[in-house]
Amino acid sequence: MAARFKVIIPARFASTRLPAKPLADIGGKPMVVRVMERALASGAEEVWVATDHEGVRDAVLAAGGKALMTRADHPTGTDRLAEVVTTLGWAPGEIVVNVQGDEPLIDPVVIRQVAEALAADVNAEIATAAHPITSVDEFLNPAAVKVVCEKNGHAQYFSRAPIPFPRDAALAGALLPGKPLPAGLLPLRHVGLYAYRVGFLKAFATLTPAPTEQTEMLEQLRALWHGYQIRVETLGEAPPAGVDTPEDLARVRAFFAANNN
């Protein structure tokens, strides 16, 4: 039986590199509406946009979507989701997928995959995604977050450092930019797409930040530090990149223009 799940799209108006990003026009529609359309295509029971800006809310409502105003001072996106599920009164066992508001090319199938991975894993409170890393350059890049998993598919650790670290290959000089990955090294790059059980979202706001979280600047390490299990769904390939810069926006606009969307 297909998993039942809902989607929340956090859409903060402020952005250092791309002001008013959620309202950026992409083929005649605001970016946040493009993301909402992708989420609706995933088969989610409900899709809500959570925003701190009336203009974003109004754009979503004008497109026939659902939007909720949230506080502007949440320290993390997960805290914003916790406010939404509390306001809407969703039950602790329900599954919620957090789809970022700057992912207008996200694959609806991947949204459903992550939700179904959590639904099938009774020991996990969170599910996320990863894909194989194919180059040493990506492996060494601190902007590419890596994840190492246990045999059952639960995350052991996330890091900006290259993990698992191939000691012998590094000592032999094989871990250099431009070179192929050492034989047998199968690193995974984390994809920032999450499914949560509502009960965990409500508990998250009460958890103290983890030392590892503060060192790596990776919010998901708080869950691991407090003993929660994170299921990792491995994708066959990297999903399309989101929109962080004017260059990214131009790329996405060109995609929609080429595909008549």
What percent of the chain is predicted at pLDDT more than 90? 78
* Among candidate residues 241, 190, 222, 227, the one with its CA nearest the CA of residue 79: 222
Q: Using 50, 70 and 90 to split pLDDT, how confident is the model at 3?
A: confident
The phi and psi torsions of 59 (rounded to 5 degrees) equal: -65, -40
Residue 75: is the preceding peptide bond cis (ω within 30°)? no
What percent of the chain is predicted at pLDDT more than 70? 98
- Read off the pTM: 0.92
The mean predicted confidence, pLDDT, of the chain is 93
Alpha carbon distances (Å) from 211 to 127, 192, 199? 22, 21, 23
**The pLDDT of residue 80 is above 90:** no
Mean pLDDT, to the nearest integer, of 166-186? 90
What was the pLDDT predicted at 252?
93
Q: How far apart are CA 147 and CA 188, in angstroms?
A: 6
**The pLDDT of residue 207 is above 80:** yes
Maximum alpha-carbon separation in the chain: 60
135: CB partners within 8 A, 6+ apart: 180, 181
Q: Which residue has the tokens 């899709």?
A: 47
Q: Angle at CA 225, nearest 5°, toward 221 and 231?
A: 60
What was the pLDDT predicted at 75?
76
**The pLDDT of residue 35 is above 60:** yes
Mean pLDDT, to the nearest integer, of 219-241? 94
Q: What is the pLDDT of residues 51-71, one digit of tens each?
A: 989 999 999 999 999 999 998
The phi and psi torsions of 211 (rounded to 5 degrees) equal: -55, -40
